[in-house]
Structure 1
Amino acid sequence: MEVKTVTGAEEVINFGELTEARQIDDGRVAAASAALQPLWDALSVSAREAALFKLEVVQEVLTGYRDGHPDLARPGEPRHPFGSHSGVSETARANAMAAHLASEFEVDRTRQRKLAQGGKAGSSPSSSSIRGWVQNWRRDGLVGLIDGRALKPRKEWAQIDEAYREVAETLARTFDGDRSAVNIAELDRRITVALKQSGVEYKQPAKRIKSQYLSWLMFTRGATTRTQKTRSLRNTSGYEHYPAMRPGQVVAIDATRADCLVRDVGTGEVFSVEVLTAIDVATRVVLALRVVPKSADAVDAALLLYDVCRPFSMLVEGTSVSDWRWCGLPGQVSLMTTADGKTDVLPDYTTLQGEHAIPSVLPDAVRSDHGSNFMSAHFQDTLASLGIDFLPTRGGRPTDNPHIERFHETLQRAWQQIPGYKGRNTGERGAKVDTEALLTANELEQHLRRFVSLDYHRTEHAGLRVPGEPKARFTPLEMWDMLTELTGCIDVPQRADMVFDFLPIHWAVISHGGIKCKNLIFDAECLDEYRNGRKGRFREKDAAAPFYRDPHDLSRLWFRDPETNEVNEVPWKGAGLTHAPMTDALVDAAWKVAKNRGGKKMISREWSQHLIAEELIELTTHAENFDEPARIRAARLRRQQSRRDINEAVDAQSRTPLSPHPTTTETLSTSPIDFDAPWGRLTLDYANEKQ
């Protein structure tokens, strides 16, 4: 019989050379592989469609025809550069096919419908995936293109009693990283006890299948508590990329080591710092940026989120450039309509003069890595109180958070503009870097914020595209304005004392002598009406009252008066004895030494106050007595930042009287907005409405 190959060559072969003749179709012999047919029949419809899609891609890359033969050419085939006859390398053809599939993927109606319904639509194949398909097809034919997951044998768990499986799955879910894992025998015992206590009748499963089932169940939870913790977050995290389509939908945050040195204001010592950044995924706008001591802790992360929720602006007048300043609540960032009805997008790129806005937003979700600061209970509680979803990346996968990682590369332009640049590694470091006139940490933060406002936000971003305009390029602020015009105003209702909502809460009983926190005594006149209070006034189980505690500055606590809703300072009684920075680490170290020195005298509050103050002075004056001198510098910097943030809020609060019990309605429906007025507080009601 006469056959034609995929290259168009005609050959004459014997009928018996065919693998297996199934039938005669329209006068032609249809051949099928005996090895493929049973496997193919057992596949699901979706698995078959996926394999045939890959086959079309492979055939078009290699031959130029999706059906693999010139006689079966579809309209427009062959297309350049596909097919071996094109003279283009196979790698280049795979790259071209990946680009073509990506463009088809963006306009696919089925995918858009899934996204609109809140589902996951996957991603288009990369060029490396396509090259892998070609290799698999050459090695195994169509079998090599079948998804391996569709070929895995299924366990016959159905023969295990349904009641047993329900209890087993319920108990397995309790292993979320907070509980120690148990062996299979103990898990089986707990299941049996639970079934007997509930009075449910069930059939005891066979030992072998039961052991396999429980082993599989615990395997899905994770072999270690850390793995179990990660997998327990999968219901609330994004393990697949999806397009953020509006400002605030996803905000990516991360910390990176600054590639330049700074000097300590007090001692002149040279040291390194870290930079915390929050970037909006949809628009690439930098919403917040902080320079912090290494390594950033949970409070640093929470205060970065505080910066995300409040609006900033930067003013350029002549050669004078202000720092990011706390501004009022604008109706829109910079989108304005002229008298003739045309849209005018600011800022004016012909000049740097004028106001530069940094918008605020309450994110729908925050994406970060598994750093201890982001996984901490305080940061997680802060997100939960604001109704913000947490999307942790996979361990060891920095590409899961690509937007913030790419911005770290952009910061190289900023690092190299200032003295103290030390390169990315020791091989790039100059011998006299630490002898230059270095910036302080505060000056470095100002420099980076100016870079963001005057350079980065005004530079066209290659990652910002608009469908239908592949050659158009937009700056981050332009994209923010365009999307804001579609989604409406998304500014955060605010109050002057919002910073306290991002600090940890310390519960303490207000006694005649004040309150106790970290073995220190705090007191103020604002507590007089609440001393020796009744049980249940602030919480049901005891008479304790809530105080805001800043771990970066323990020289004072803060108490919100329930009658006036005003936040009042409650200072440490020994604050006048020392000017040493008081972070958690330093106070704990001073307390241990003072306790050993004081002996029985530590029973006296007055004596303990003096001893702790003396030890704080000793630790900060003679750093060699402390096992980590770097903490002394970090403590000074953290206290400086803490006082700047809180004093700013206290100053605004003193200029703007607070209503006793503000509501969302009061915040949003007051008189016309004053752009220069202090901003208000983000109410929990608003966060709940957002959910």
Structure 2
Amino acid sequence: MVSGGRRRPVVAVGAHVVFEGRSWQVVALEGPVVRLVDERGVVASMLVGYLCAAPDFALVGAAPVAGVPQWGLFQTVPLRERERALAWQRHIHEIECGLPDGPGGVGVARAQYGPGRSMAERERAKAEEMRASGWAVSVATVQRMRGRYRRQGLWGLVDKRTMRGASATGRSDERVVVAVLEALRRQRGRSKGTVEGLRRLTGEILDRAHGPGVVALPSRATFYRLVNALADPAELPGRAARTASATTPPFAAVVASRPGEQVQVDTTRLDVMAVLGDGRLGRPELTIAVDVATRSIVAAVLRPAGTKAVDAALLLAEMAVPHPMRPHWPEALELSRASVPYERLAAIDGRLEGAAARPVIVPETIVVDRGRVFVSEAFVAACETLGVSVQPAPPRRPAAKGVVERTFGAINTLFCQHVAGYTGSNTTVRGHGVEDEACWTVPQLQELLDEWIVCGWQSRPHEGLRHPMTPGAALTPNEMWGALVGACGYVPVPLTGRDYVELLPVRWHRVTERGIRIDHRTYDHPVLGACRGRSSGVAARGGKWEIHHNPHDGRLVWIRLPGGKFAEVPWIHRDHVNAPFDVHAWRHVRESVERRGDRERHEADLAEALAALLREGRPAVGPARGGSRRSREREDIAAGRAVPGARRVVRQAGTGHDGRAANSEGVAGFVFPGRVPGAATHDGVGVESWDDLDGGDEFLDEDPDSETEAGSGGASGGGVGFGLYDAHAEAELW
């Protein structure tokens, strides 16, 4: 090993090195190959780079090499000490190479530092020179400063005494400091008190340890400063305790590099008062799925109350299905207008033609909280069916789902506060007339939310989305999806009507001569002829039959036949009810109708009461209208008349709402944003969105007792008809 001046040590023939825990001697160097011999005579040959890259490689006897100058710490040194260290550096350079500016400096070396002088002579000359200039140094000081400079560089020339910080306890008595620490230790784990209580405890500890009055307590202000310096910030008296929900480091931000790598799902109450199916007011529950990589809201479902496992399961399938355009949406919301490679995507997946500008993302991992809905068997089974892994978040750690939690706040800020019936985030900011202002039903709010996601969220720049090539510009969720799809690819996942039925909840019932009896409702159809009074063959269920039902639409169920196919079985009174209803509306009707002795008569009464409930609020006969403003608005909603916030659309001549022929003059009317019955379905799927699963048509006929002539399409002269629910059309959709 050879070294000279401040050069780094090098490997040479004859040098001793440490490799693999043993000492070796370099006996030969042939180009990039080095040959080593250990103490036992074992010979080894290897590349020099492999030898030097070994974790335990070291040169025996090599002097320490000065590290990179610590300029960050050097800038914290007082100016006077920095100037002193730089002066020492010039003196050391002149001792070692003859020039104050170091190797490569301009000028001629002075005689006392010339090539003919030894290092000891140069050090003595430099000490005499510095003493003559007023520096109190000796030869030993010069040698010590040279050694520091070789080991630590410029930082070694700094006087560390100037860097000493003040003690956290100042000039407090050490006995008081020990007593305060003991008092804090005793209070740890107990309910928090005040600093004054801690001061009294400290005084008691001092009196017991040193005698009464021997050690005086400091003043209140000094004691407060001492406690702040010694106590853990989370254990300071008078501050909130560290709870289990507090984020405990270490933690890191969630990073996803491709669409669907991680999707976060959660449920919360929407800050909007809505008109529920039974006429009452309430805040619906919103369940959303947010893709972390693109910040896209890939699915959103509103339910009146009590989100069920089927809602979370159907949310998964909605992510993989393109969202169709609604008839009243502007063309600017089409996927073809978005900043995505539309032509390439449409060539792969024909369902994207005419779709709305929302990403189609199949999740790989879904992060959920430990709510009962998301850990249910139905949800986990649905995830397994679609090949999705479920990752429960740590208990009481909302930061683990920070993306979806922040998205809820953005929905309240950007959407909810502009909707009639906005309740505010808490009761302190809630208005006085929220109940009177509420006029939207849950399906109408769902339609408004779907449109806002396309035009108000997917096209809005997000500060969390930055492309590596353009870090200064924030991208929209659609732009980020387009960029990542080009890099990661896109694989369509076709889902059929059978797949949707498989995701619905399952119940096991017997098929009697009357049909299938569920919650005082009878379902019957000729297809049950071969199943009546017979066993299904499933011994684990006592021979009962597998029934799939939609909790949000009780008008029909599906039964799995012996061949494995599903058959649709309608409610026997479905003709009385021309709109979907959920279990809450049904229970409300049951409580309102007295139980009769005759089962058939009782069920017919329930059907009539349910139909009356869904027709509630229709216009009264005659010009006079009484009641409160809120009741009149609900009547307008059910009847389809204009209310604040409604949209006006003009139906062209030749078509009605249900796609059949209208009158030749065309009909103009007010309709709420919602699904239009008979609208074009999506290729390969057969449903527009999850409203189709719930029965599709949310609109009610203005006059259910009026007769419609054949071929008129329900658009009788000048009326504002919304059309009855067509069960056969719904069956064709499935």
Instruction: Using structure 1 for the length normalisation, give the TM-score.
Output: 0.48
Q: Which has the higher contact order (CA 8 A, sep 6+)?
A: 1
Look at both structures and tell me which one has the larger radius of gyration over its CA atoms.
2
Instruction: Using structure 2 for the length normalisation, give the TM-score.
Output: 0.46
